[in-house]
Amino acid sequence: MSLQLFFAPGACSFVPHAMLELAGVPFEPMMVKLHKGEQRSPEYLAMNPRGQVPVLVDDGEVITQIVAILLHLDAKFPQAGILPASGVARTRALSTLAWMNNTVHPTFTHVFMPQKFTDDEGAQKIIRAFAANSYKGLLGEIEAMAAKASPWLCGEAPCALDAYALTLLRWGGYAGIDPTTLPATWTLVQRFAALPAVARVIERERLQLNVYQPAT
């Protein structure tokens, strides 16, 4: 196939993964098992020296970084509605996408992998707790957006923002945030997950939407 998407289950690569399925275009999903260190293999690093997912390979051209991948797919498959086509709606969607990617996503990284920022275990606990509280506030901003969705975050059709909202809300469970306490977002992502194309991605990645576990 001319298109290959390298993804890891539950990672932000879910966003282009879902968009490709929704677009209904042929592509080859290539699973990268992060827990086994496959992203650090010589073969993978030769393709993406940063050792990250997602990676899109389009006729041999390697594209990294989620925003770049989504913009590439949007240009290649304009009929798919990955982002609004033009005007203020597109500008606002790009603004939200950038914010999700450069603010919300890195905040969760501080929760999930505080060891990337310090090797002091005591400091790691402080970073994790502080970031979890910040992350809850950021999900609150997404909740306000979801409450105004009509019916999707980009308007009449599902788009990349809905896929990213699902990913970010799901991660909230690992930050100690019950997704059901954000009812508008929880309803939105459940509707998105129920779309047949998205359901195929969830099955392929073996995802559980609600991973929150109350403290005992």
For residue 216, the model assigns a pLDDT of 59
Residue 38 and residue 46: Cα distance in Å, rounded? 12
**10-residue block means of pLDDT along the chain (216 residues)?**
92 98 96 93 94 96 97 96 96 98 97 94 95 97 97 96 98 96 98 98 97 82
**Residue 29 near residue 3, CB atoms below 8 Å:** no
Q: How far apart are CA 57 and CA 100, in angstroms?
A: 23
Question: Which pLDDT score is estimated for 24?
Answer: 96
* CB distance 44 to 32 below 8 Å: yes
- Continuous H helices in 105-205: 105-112, 121-147, 160-172, 183-194, 196-205
Q: Which residues contact 124 (CB under 8 A, 6 or more apart)?
A: 114, 115, 117, 118
Nearest Cα neighbor of 135 from 186, 171, 99 is 171
| Radius of gyration from C-alpha coordinates of the chain | 17
pTM: 0.96
